Structure 1
Amino acid sequence: MDSILFSTPDNPIPENRTEGYFEAFDGRKLRYALFRCPQPVSKGTVVILQGRNEFIEKYFETIRDLTSRGLWVATFDLRGQGGSARLLKNAMHGHVGRFFHYEQDLTAFLEKVVLPDARMPFFLLAHSTGALIALSAAPQLANRIERMVLSAPFVGLTGQGASAGAIRFLAAAACRVGLGSLTLVRNLKEKPFAENPLTSDAARYRRNMDLAARFPQLCLGPPTARWLLEAFNAIQRVSAPEHLFSITIPTLLIAPTRDGVIPYAAQEALSRYFRAAQLVPIAGAKHEIFQEKDVYRAAALAAVHAFIPGSDAEASTELVGTGI
């Protein structure tokens, strides 16, 4: 049977896995994969929630890091992107009908794949838009998820040529007149490495660009007006002190200080009312910390392994909160 995952010479598919599709609440098929550790006894399962315009293949390196520590990894492509069902006739438009659909998909994934097939305890590692989904769903996840790690959570927006307020206003106006499935810009221009806001690691940037070039069917163009409006509404909701007070899952906020997509100040502000969270700034890192240079990536992984029980880094718990 052919794999539904894709590989390149410098990004091979991890072994010892199960892959397939699960059915979302509305019948759409979402692509998933479950990776097992080489050790005979697992120390738990990390559920990875991706960012916008990401896909399982982009996390192969991080999956290997986690499974080498005795953890299983379960992940899926968000609806409308990667190898999951697209939502519009123009498959390149990044769209969602309502933000809570992402949360319903996460619930379905936990119930249909993770709970029956993975190993307890369960942890959540979420990046950017995935971290926004996790923040929104967190009050309902307390009985299932032991701990969360949120990387560069999408709680603000910068570097777009227009203010977040202006983008939200335009998105809302488009949705009011029935144009929510249209994008506010024609195309997202690929930035040269020297100007990219995602990573300072040239090799990993080229690897991800090669994935996109070889398998364009996994990629997205710009988000629709509806996606933007739903995301901004979710940001406003999860940033409210009463919502943050309601989250009881112990949480690690990994915040790159040179993030060119999500303002570091917005990530820092989130932690002020988030009683269950601890902020770990990664000085000098850009937005995609798990695609960053080894020095930044290693600092983030050290914090993750010190925070998530079951790794062999318990002796390094003093790293958490030091700002590395």
Structure 2
Amino acid sequence: MDQAPFYSDVDDGPPGGRAFWLTASDGVRFRLGDWPVSGAKGTVLLFPGRTEYIEKYGRAARDFAARGYRTVAIDWRGQGLADRVSGNPALGHVGHFSDYQKDVDAVMAALPDLGITGPYVLLAHSMGGAIGLRALYRSLPVRAAVFTAPMWGIELPLLVRPLAWVLSSASNAIGRGEILSPGTTAEAYVLNELFAANKLTSDSDMYEYMQAQARAHPDLNIGGPTMRWLHESLMEMRRLAQRPSPNVPCLTFLGGDEAIVSAQRIRARMAQWPGGQLEVVTGARHEIMMENAETRAFCFDACAAHFDAHLGKQPSACSAR
């Protein structure tokens, strides 16, 4: 397995961070990042959100390392240093939302060869929350799951929702699925949006951390999503909403000032997740792990406590697909 570039100059993670190239079953190449921890209690499988990349979670890996956990993260296809799957590499794109599961499968097959052992636990953010929920239905072998602002619905004005369905469906039908979604740009969000107006974090230091990464390594960046990505995402969120929650211990964080994903969908899902727990964090925005020091400490303490409580249990079998 070949080493991949890893930008340790900007990750601010624990020492020893590294990355590897993996290839999915359809030939798409992507990166797996790893922050080893000697004597780790378990390994956090960190599923990032749309536009994100391994190095963005260096500080999160450092927080987990301090609590005894190794962290691995993924550059999903179409973003970070993974193969871009659109004719315009600046846009976020996917052929089918199910393609992300090919990346998950390649990761799980590669972990033993890399000496990255369990027990495994899942932490999935935003778009990674939709991918992660689907992976749980496909029996991802984790002892427990944490979601932060999971993309189980997108926050859209009531009158815009039907328009998003119609436009995205029509664009794909006429072969225009790779055009930019309305209201977005081809530039990286953190370089195009002033801190005062951003929807990601209320903490200026963490916003500067993200901006510094985007400026130092522009090859990591993508801009807005294509119409194909929008349509595929809407379809997947609809399919997921029709399924009962899996039998996996779950903790979910929702920012009180969330404005990107649907808080209503998250509340509805967690209200019917057996034994699930929802933590609403007052004053936090979309990226709970990128908030102020107090919020971050609360988040990572709660994650570690949740994971610790379930490490001794076997992964729950989930035969539903």
What's the TM-score once normalised by structure 2's chain length? 0.88
1:159–1:297: structure 2 CA closer, same or farther, 3 Å change rule?
farther
- Kindly indicate whether the alpha-carbon contact (under 8 Å) linking 1:151 and 1:253 is maintained by their aligned counterparts in 2: yes
Match of residue 292 from structure 1: 291
> Which residue identity does 1:223 align to in structure 2?
P
Give the count of matched residue pairs. 305
1:168 aligns to 2:170 (yes or no): no
Separation of aligned partners in 2, 1:310 and 1:73: 18
Identify unmatched segments of 5+ residues in structure 2. 311-321
- Kindly indicate whether the alpha-carbon contact (under 8 Å) linking 2:46 and 2:72 is maintained by their aligned counterparts in 1: yes
Identity percentage of aligned residues: 29
Match of 1:65 among 49, 53, 63: 63
Separation of aligned partners in 2, 1:182 and 1:64: 38
Separation of aligned partners in 2, 1:262 and 1:233: 15
- Kindly indicate whether the alpha-carbon contact (under 8 Å) linking 1:74 and 1:114 is maintained by their aligned counterparts in 2: no
Match of residue 234 from structure 1: 236
1:179–1:147: structure 2 CA closer, same or farther, 3 Å change rule?
same
Q: How far did residue 88 of structure 1 move?
A: 1.9
The worse-fitting range, judged by mean Cα deviation, of 259-268 and 282-291 is 259-268
> Which residue identity does 1:153 align to in structure 2?
P
Match of residue 5 from structure 2: 4
1:225–1:248: structure 2 CA closer, same or farther, 3 Å change rule?
same
Q: How far did residue 24 of structure 1 move?
A: 0.7
Match of 2:51 among 32, 50, 53: 53
Separation of aligned partners in 2, 1:21 and 1:116: 11
1:160–1:81: structure 2 CA closer, same or farther, 3 Å change rule?
farther
- Kindly indicate whether the alpha-carbon contact (under 8 Å) linking 1:70 and 1:310 is maintained by their aligned counterparts in 2: no
> Which residue identity does 2:162 align to in structure 1?
G
Separation of aligned partners in 1, 2:76 and 2:258: 23
Separation of aligned partners in 2, 1:299 and 1:169: 41
Q: Secondary structure at the match of 1:203?
A: helix
Separation of aligned partners in 2, 1:219 and 1:288: 17
> Which residue identity does 2:225 align to in structure 1?
P
Matches within 5 A, 1:179-194: 179-185=176-182, 187=185, 190-194=192-196
Separation of aligned partners in 1, 2:252 and 2:113: 25
Match of residue 79 from structure 1: 77
Cα RMSD for the two superposed structures: 2.3
Match of residue 32 from structure 1: 32
1:201 aligns to 2:200 (yes or no): no
> Which residue identity does 1:84 align to in structure 2?
A
The worse-fitting range, judged by mean Cα deviation, of 298-307 and 161-170 is 161-170
Match of 1:150 among 144, 147, 150: 147
Matches within 5 A, 1:280-319: 280-309=279-308
1:17–1:184: structure 2 CA closer, same or farther, 3 Å change rule?
closer
